[in-house]
Amino acid sequence: MATNPCAGEQEGNNLLRALRPNDLALLTPYLEIWSGARGQVIYNPGDDVTHVYFPCGASVACFLTPLPEGELIEAALVGREGAIGGVVSEGNLPAFARAEVQSAGQFLRMPIKRLDAAKRSSPAIRTLFARYADCLLAQVFQSVACNAAHTIEQRTAKWLLAAMDRTGQEKLALTQDQLAGMLGIGRSYLTRVVKPLRERGLIDTGRGMIRVLNRSALETVSCGCDEAWRRHFGVALRGVYPGPRD
């Protein structure tokens, strides 16, 4: 069991930390530490969602939507600001998208039935998860619009900034192939985008990593869609989304 699930400003889960102690105490006995490796599948489409997962610290998960052609396209990122699985549903419902670990690390998890019982006992817990569900849906809405309207360069910059915020790190553990898959484009197309960003000193690339060298300059390249979603998140759940230096 996790005796102190929200210990440390950089180590815990911000969504859980937003609860008052008496409400958090309803969840704590059922939270257990789960370690996720990069690429590890949390659940696949059609799987029963039996547990809710809370990324901690630099851990990040992503939702990937399958296409008929067999591709998997990222729909949302979830870091320590949120949760994966059973956020609003009652009972064990099948998953629509794949959820997998994007940035390895520790998660807290608990059975959905325990979370549902806590929601029934505490209006504060029920409200918190309803507000988070609204924020997650807003992220998906913004992602759909962004993919339709903005260039690959803008989307690449946006993705790197979002990953930085959630991990709190400038060095991101992923390959260009993996980033291309997240964006739903070919590796050769991404290479044509990454090269000028590297030449301008905004990023550096290496074996299995991309490092952001100049955040402020990268922000000028980004479409700003993540900033729009962050503002909405700040209204619905003030102080929960991690800032650039959180």
DSSP notation for 43-63:
E-TT-B--EEEEE-TT-EEEE
pLDDT at residue 174, as a whole number: 87
38 and 119 inside one domain? yes
28 and 119 inside one domain? yes
Q: Is residue 27 part of a domain?
A: yes
pLDDT at residue 187, as a whole number: 87
Count of domains for the chain: 2
Q: Mean pLDDT throughout 109-121?
A: 95
Q: Mean pLDDT throughout 193-199?
A: 94
Q: Tens of pLDDT along 17-34? A: 999 999 999 999 999 999
Residue 99: name the closest of 37, 172, 45 by CA: 45
22 and 87 inside one domain? yes
Q: Mean pLDDT throughout 190-210?
A: 94
**pLDDT confidence bin for 7, thresholds 50/70/90:** low
- Hey, what's the torsion of the CAs at 228, 233, 234, 238, to 10 degrees? -170
Q: Tell me how far apart the alpha carbons of residues 125 and 119 are, in angstroms, rounded to a whole number.
A: 5
pLDDT at residue 184, as a whole number: 83
Q: Give the CATH number, domain containing residue 178.
A: 1.10.10.10
**pLDDT confidence bin for 203, thresholds 50/70/90:** very high
**pLDDT confidence bin for 246, thresholds 50/70/90:** very low
Q: Mean pLDDT throughout 143-154?
A: 92
What's the chain's average pLDDT? 90
What share of the chain has pLDDT > 90, as a percent? 70
pLDDT at residue 21, as a whole number: 95
Q: Mean pLDDT throughout 71-88?
A: 90
Q: Mean pLDDT throughout 37-53?
A: 95
Please give the residue that has the higher pLDDT: either 219 or 72.
219
Q: Is residue 177 part of a domain?
A: yes
Q: Tell me how far apart the alpha carbons of residues 226 and 216 are, in angstroms, rounded to a whole number.
A: 14
27 and 119 inside one domain? yes
Residue 8 has pLDDT above 60, yes or no: no
Q: Tell me how far apart the alpha carbons of residues 37 and 101 are, in angstroms, rounded to a whole number.
A: 7
Residue 74: name the closest of 203, 178, 149 by CA: 178
Range of the domain at 55: 14-123
Q: Give the CATH number, domain containing residue 73.
A: 2.60.120.10
Q: Is residue 135 part of a domain?
A: no
Q: Is residue 185 part of a domain?
A: yes
175 and 211 inside one domain? yes
Rounded alpha-carbon distances, angstroms, from residue 120 to 22, 90, 115, 127? 15, 10, 9, 11
Q: Hey, what are 206's tokens?
A: 């290496």
Q: Is residue 143 part of a domain?
A: no
